């Protein structure tokens, strides 16, 4: 397919437009942002950036549309989501090509994970619209769950379509009207998504897209008086700024923020299974996932065995051009992330962690592009920066422990609590340990992804939940008719 999809997107004028009040509207401002192909470090497109005025127009359009859309029967909303789901699947290759180009996901991974997982969020939202009890009697009282109103959605660059559909699907199922700000670093898949929403027959003004940066468009969404709720997926720092901007209008703020997820390997675990699966989870999407389990907590007397298995696993990775079908790990998504990862690998070396494999610099034979070497450290102390700070790259810390109580203490010993993993031969014992870990999700023995399982954080990983029933409920208010 090459770049034909991008040329067609440009020919339709989308790169210079916003989608506001049911129309593609040329951006009135002069601000533009280059979209960089992280595999070449070269610009592939330039998109228009919106302003506070664009947010105001979108929010007011959403407010007008909400009056009718919020009263739609749930089945009618489900039908809209069903059409949108079908269009995402029909255009899956377009989305995969866009995601691979804008943030470097290997094309095979974009096709097998980034796009189909995104489609699943819309499917789950469709099913919830049909089955959720929006009205329930409680004695002589009726309990109604009604849409909160106009919602501002701020999404990141690492899973660009997946995070959009997680929020938009739930908001539409609830009956909310939307103002979406995708990341300015990965806006191409969002433009394709806006076309799909329009083609699915979404009513005028219900869905609006304003491209832009955080300080301009993100801040305007967070503070706008016509927006009743903001949902952000991003860094903890960005979440704090959104909450501060939202406070004067007392709007609801849902935050899915940073993580430093543990992977606790119990003494009876099969290391030959647990370590490769744990490493794959920690370095999927090149470690650019907020819930990536990048701290592997291993019995101290089995640390050497875990190191050998980890090194052999990394040796099987194919880091390279994301356009190649054989590539398992592409480049980091942008220059800032590349520099962050390189700096944190240096921090690990300075702190005295022992390098098992990888290290600073690009992999051999890759002289340009934001490529990083998948890196494993051992003899990592729990207080080291590489064990405490979110790196957001392919860097795994092996941490030894002497007993399970110490392992749980290490697992809980960061300011984050988004995801966690526990591996063990005794399922009941592994579940008992999972109950002791303070995080929003705990994966026991590397299960399949469940799109209906609620996702969100304890502590500084945020508040609120996404996905499934709980994700839908974030967009609902409760009314009692007595």
| Spatial contact of 142 and 85, defined as CB atoms under 8 Å apart | no
Is 290 in the active site? yes
CA distance 386 to 347: 7
From the candidates 290, 357, 390, 466, give the one annotated as an active-site residue.
290
Helix (H, G, I), strand (E, B) or coil at 311: helix
Strands (DSSP E) contained in 420-471 are 421-423, 443-444, 458-459, 462-463
- Count of Cβ atoms closer than 10 Å to residue 82 Cβ: 18
Would strands 23-26 and 42-48 be described as parallel, antiparallel, or unpaired?
A: unpaired
CA distance 83 to 151: 22
| Spatial contact of 256 and 233, defined as CB atoms under 8 Å apart | yes
Give bridge partners of residue 444 from the DSSP assignment: 422
Q: Which residues contact 459 (CB under 8 A, 6 or more apart)?
A: 415, 416, 417, 438
CA distance 349 to 173: 49
CA distance 97 to 427: 40
Phi, psi (rounded to 5 degrees) for 293: -80, 85
From the candidates 82, 102, 226, 256, give the one annotated as an active-site residue.
256
Q: Using CB atoms within 10 A of its CB, is residue 33 exposed (0-12), middle (13-18) or buried (19+)?
A: middle
Give bridge partners of residue 231 from the DSSP assignment: 153, 254
**Order of strands, sheet of 135-138, starting from the edge strand that comes earlier in the sequence:** 135-138, 141-147, 476-481
CA distance 91 to 429: 44
Q: Is the dihedral of CA 315, 319, 323, 328 positive or negative?
A: positive
Is 256 in the active site? yes
| Spatial contact of 28 and 63, defined as CB atoms under 8 Å apart | no
Which residue numbers are catalytic? 256, 290
């Amino acid at each position: 397919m090459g770049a034909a999809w991008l040329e067609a997107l440009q020919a339709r004028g989308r790169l210079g437009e916003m989608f506001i009040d049911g129309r593609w509207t040329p951006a009135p401002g002069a601000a533009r942002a280059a979209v960089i192909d992280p595999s070449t470090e070269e610009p592939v497109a330039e998109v228009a950036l919106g302003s506070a005025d664009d947010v105001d127009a979108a929010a007011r359009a959403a407010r007008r549309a909400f009056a009718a859309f919020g009263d739609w029967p749930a089945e009618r909303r489900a039908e809209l989501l069903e059409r949108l789901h079908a269009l995402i699947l029909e255009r899956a290759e377009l989305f995969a090509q866009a995601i691979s180009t804008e943030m470097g996901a290997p094309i095979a991974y974009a096709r097998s994970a980034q796009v189909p997982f995104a489609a699943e969020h819309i499917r789950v939202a469709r099913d919830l619209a049909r089955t959720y009890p929006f009205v329930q009697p409680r004695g002589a009282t009726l309990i109604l769950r009604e849409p909160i109103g106009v919602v501002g959605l701020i999404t990141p660059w690492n899973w660009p379509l997946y995070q959009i559909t997680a929020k938009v699907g739930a908001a539409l199922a609830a009956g909310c009207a939307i103002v979406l700000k995708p990341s300015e670093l990965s806006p191409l898949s969002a433009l394709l998504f806006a076309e799909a929403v329009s083609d699915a027959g979404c009513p005028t003004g219900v869905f609006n897209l304003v491209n832009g940066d955080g300080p301009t468009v993100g801040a305007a969404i967070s503070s706008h008086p016509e927006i009743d709720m903001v949902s952000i997926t991003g860094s903890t720092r960005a979440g704090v700024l959104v909450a501060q901007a939202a406070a004067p209008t007392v709007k609801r703020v849902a935050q899915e923020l940073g993580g430093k997820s543990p992977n606790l390997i119990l003494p009876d675990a099969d290391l030959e299974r647990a370590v490769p699966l744990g490493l794959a989870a920690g370095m999927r999407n090149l470690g650019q996932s907020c819930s990536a389990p990048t701290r592997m907590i291993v019995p101290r007397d089995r640390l050497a065995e875990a190191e050998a298995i980890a090194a052999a696993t990394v040796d099987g990775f194919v880091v390279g051009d994301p356009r190649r079908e054989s590539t398992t790990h592409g480049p980091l998504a942008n220059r800032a992330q590349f520099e962050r990862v390189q700096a944190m690998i240096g921090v690990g070396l300075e702190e005295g962690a022992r390098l098992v494999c990888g290290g600073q610099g690009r992999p051999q034979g890759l002289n340009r592009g934001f490529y990083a070497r998948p890196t494993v450290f051992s003899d990592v102390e729990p207080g080291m920066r590489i064990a405490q700070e979110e790196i957001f790259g392919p860097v795994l810390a092996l941490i030894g422990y002497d007993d399970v109580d110490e392992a749980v203490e290490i697992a809980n010993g960061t300011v984050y609590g988004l995801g966690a993993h526990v591996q063990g031969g005794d399922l009941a014992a592994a579940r008992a340990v999972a109950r002791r870990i303070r995080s929003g999700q705990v994966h026991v023995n590397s299960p399949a992804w469940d799109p209906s399982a609620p996702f969100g954080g304890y502590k500084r990983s945020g508040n609120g939940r996404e996905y499934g029933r709980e994700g839908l409920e974030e967009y609902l208010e409760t009314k009692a008719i007595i």
